[in-house]
Amino acid sequence: MEAVSQQPTAVSFGYRFLGQLSYEEGLLEQQVAVREVQNGIDGVVLGLTHDPVITIGRNATRANLLADDQTLAARGIVLAESDRGGDITYHGPEQVLLYPIVRLAAVRRSVKGFVDSLQRAMVVYLASLGLTAVPRDDAPGVYVGGAKIGLLGLRVQDGIARHGLALNLGGALDAFSLMHPCGHAGQALTSVEALTGARPSHKEAAAAIADALFLELER
């Protein structure tokens, strides 16, 4: 288990960086973390990135997927159903993901309060890179100059939150052209690399966002 420099003192958290996994492997890792929380730990934060995948959330409209199976196969993109909230989105090596598997009662958060904490963690991390990001009331996530850079999707069951956030680090984001991202046609997207010219490593970014999240959950 990799230590993160800041963790809440009032609650018990673990952190693991998993590297690049398929979406299915990520779901299995979340199940392992859920069992840890059920057995007494307050939360486990998983840092990772995914093989290219388009996920269809519980509230998705299939019309927001603009590509057929042949196009996805040619691009090496898997299509996966997800039990998270939200609509349709893409995950891949262009992003870092954080899956905080957290007992919400332990951090004294409602679902909305937890979403706010996830958004603030991304805002704090981006500020450390010299970027000013803001959330939006009408569309969860964080934005720089109107372009979306951070995405969110959660599932809360028996008081335990799963899934989490994705931040665009860099590389081509053209896979988002295969959909109306998060159900919003014409939504502009951006990345850390596009805005700063530098692309942090997945491991570095995951640990820094986790640190920011731990500090947020102490409040």
Q: Which residues contact 69 (CB under 8 A, 6 or more apart)?
A: 79
Beta strands in 13-94, from DSSP E residues, in sequence order: 13-21, 43-50, 53-56, 78-81, 88-91
**Cβ 206 vs Cβ 121: under 8 Å:** no
Residue from 182, 189, 195, 212 carrying the catalytic annotation: 182
Q: Which two tokens stand for residue 203?
A: 């491991």
The residue to which tokens 């288990």 are assigned: 1
Geometric angle at alpha carbon 44, from 40 and 48, rounded to 5°: 160
Cα 56 from chain centre: 14
Burial of 94 (0-12, 13-18, 19+ CB in 10 A): buried
The reply to whether 70 belongs to the active site is no
Catalytic residue IDs: 182
